[in-house]
Amino acid sequence: MNWGRYAQDRLSEIARCSVDEIGVTRFPFTPEHKAAIGVIQSWMVQAGLQVHMDAAGTLIGRKQGPNGVPTFLIGSHQDSVKSGGRYDGIMGVVLGCLALEKLRAEAVELPFSVEILAFADEEGVRFPTALMGPRALAGTFDPAVLDMNDKDGVSLRRALADFGGDPDGVSALARDPSKTAGYLEIHIEQGPVLEVADAALGIVTGICGIERNTVTFAGDTGHAGTVPMDGRRDALVAGSDFISAIHDAAINIPDLRATVGALSLHPNVVNAIPSKVELTLEIRALDDTVRDNFARSARSVGDRISGLRRVDFAMERTYEQPAVPCDINMIGDLEAAVAAIGHTAPRLPSGASHDASAMADLCPTSMLFVRCKDGLSHKPEEFASTEDMGAGIEAVARFLKRIGQSGLSDGKSKHR
């Protein structure tokens, strides 16, 4: 069986569940998501799973184990960014289903229950929030996010209800940690490390923390031809000072990433001085203290520029998720499983965030990276090879057999 070929074919099929644009655009609770649900459901059925969608819109395929045993979870997200690639997120659902299908084909019965989870919204591109599905399972869901709106003014509550979810039932989805043995997410690396190491697979040591801020500079508009240069309170000049200062500071801090990804301007016309600039500042780091310190220094840079350019400055944190370490026992089990198929997988941190970031509040969490071409992601050129995905499926099947033999079935797993 060429499991990698199966994976490639399934990813081509589900890539068509997309807004008709370049690359894949599949936002949560949209017709594209609905179409994807149908396709994923067929994969789960083919793997012998019982399928249902939970109140948060997570599609769940469950293989029941013997009575009273814990459940091991495997998952990732079905959604994409705008004009993104065909592997980010959904590949983890495909490879999880195929690993279970492989075990089924080998008549292997695991001594624990297993679930494949296809989460609705990890990217947080449609709504200014993310990770509702895994946060619901982890019991960290904040119902207030249901009142957040997308750019068309549709609330998350309404979109979820119209999609067939149950907004008022999301908080009740919290799982019992004592009955949850662990979580594995299979994901493309989205970076260059595995390619440089010539490794098909990588094992994640930890996932970066993230915070997102809205930064505003407010000055005065005026006629571009009549207001003298030295009399201006130009918000865009201040904003550009800030963006350059942030970049020049971040470049000297290892493992820290600072990005101004979105910017809006007012009045945004060719012959008027910009009176207001609003930009997003996202900061990521594997160490939350490093991230906090950088945010503090960004504020003082903004205050300095505000005085220099005689404009008002504000910086408001709108989103935060802490850095999470992966489970050391599962790192060892993944390494042994990868070695058993004749591969060597480097250990590496994840600069991208994942559903696993939220699942770490529920249970021991692990991630297996699959090499991606040129480290590209969040763009149509995103690509993982059939061979590398085949290795991923083999490794996950071995991993599940290995943890089954390590006492997971009696609930006293070393993963707790």
Closer CB to ligand HGY, 122 or 185, in the complex: 122
Q: At what angle do helices 235-250 and 288-309 cross, to 10 degrees?
A: 150
123 near ligand HGY, rule: CB under 6 A: yes
Q: Which of 89, 124, 191, 219 is close enough to bind Mn ion by CB under 5 A?
A: 89
State the greatest distance between any 2 C-alpha atoms of the chain, in Å, as a whole number: 81
254, two tokens: 């290892």
Where does this chain touch Mn ion (CB under 5 A) — which range of 39-47, 83-91, 166-174, 199-207?
Answer: 83-91
CB of 403 to ligand HGY, least distance (A): 27
Q: Which of ligand HGY, Mn ion, none does residue 275 bind (CB under 5 to 8 Å by kind)? A: none
Residue 323, contacted partner among Mn ion, ligand HGY, none, CB below 5-8 A by kind: none
* Of 103 and 281, CB closest to ligand HGY: 281
Instruction: List Cβ neighbours of 191 (8 Å cut-off, separation of 6 or more).
Output: 351, 352, 375, 377
Burial class (CB in 10 A: 0-12, 13-18, 19+), 259: middle
**Residue with nearest beta carbon to ligand HGY:** 352
**Using rule CB under 6 A, residue 353 touches ligand HGY:** yes
d(CA 77, CA 187): 10
Task: Choose the contact partner of 89 out of Mn ion, ligand HGY, none; CB within 5 to 8 A by kind.
Answer: Mn ion
Query: What values do phi and psi take at 11, rounded to 5?
Result: -70, -30
Q: Which long-range contacts (CB under 8 A, 24 or more apart) does 61-65 make?
A: 61/97, 61/115, 61/116, 62/113, 62/114, 62/115, 63/100, 63/110, 63/113, 63/114, 63/115, 64/113, 65/110, 65/111, 65/112, 65/113, 65/114, 65/409
For residues 88 and 184, give the distance between their C-alpha atoms in angstroms, rounded to a whole number: 15
By CB under 5 A, which span of 27-35, 85-93, 176-184, 386-394 interacts with Mn ion? 85-93
Residue 353: which of ligand HGY, Mn ion, none does it interact with, CB under 5 to 8 A by kind?
ligand HGY
Q: Which is nearer to ligand HGY, 124 or 404 (CB)?
A: 124
Q: Return phi, psi of residue 32, to 5°.
A: -65, -40
Selected from 145, 352, 362, 363, the binder of ligand HGY by CB under 6 A is: 352
Question: Minimum distance between the CB of residue 327 and ligand HGY, rounded to whole angstroms?
Answer: 20
SS3 assignment, position 379? coil
CB of 123 to ligand HGY, least distance (A): 5
Q: How many residues bind ligand HGY (CB under 6 A)?
A: 4
Q: Which residues contact 66 (CB under 8 A, 6 or more apart)?
A: 111, 409
- CA 197 to chain CA centroid, nearest Å: 24
Tell me the closest approach of the beta carbon of residue 3 to ligand HGY, in angstroms. Answer: 25
CB of 91 to Mn ion, least distance (A): 9
Nearest-angstrom CA–CA distance, 238 and 274: 10
34 φ, ψ (degrees, to nearest 5): -60, -45
323 touching ligand HGY, by CB under 6 A: no
Binding to Mn ion, residues 115-144 (CB under 5 A): none
Smallest distance, ligand HGY to C-beta of residue 188, A: 10
Contacts of 304 (CB under 8 A, 6+ apart): none
Q: Which of 54, 122, 241, 335 binds ligand HGY (CB under 6 A)?
A: 122
Please say whether the dihedral angle defined by the alpha carbons of residues 51, 53, 54 and 59, taken in this order, is positive or negative: positive
Element (H, E) at 10: helix 3-15
Contact letters (x/-) for ligand HGY, 204-243, by CB under 6 A?
----------------------------------------
Distance of closest approach, residue 220 Cβ to ligand HGY, in angstroms? 36
Return residues touching Mn ion (CB under 5 A): 88-89
Return residues touching ligand HGY (CB under 6 A): 122-123, 352-353
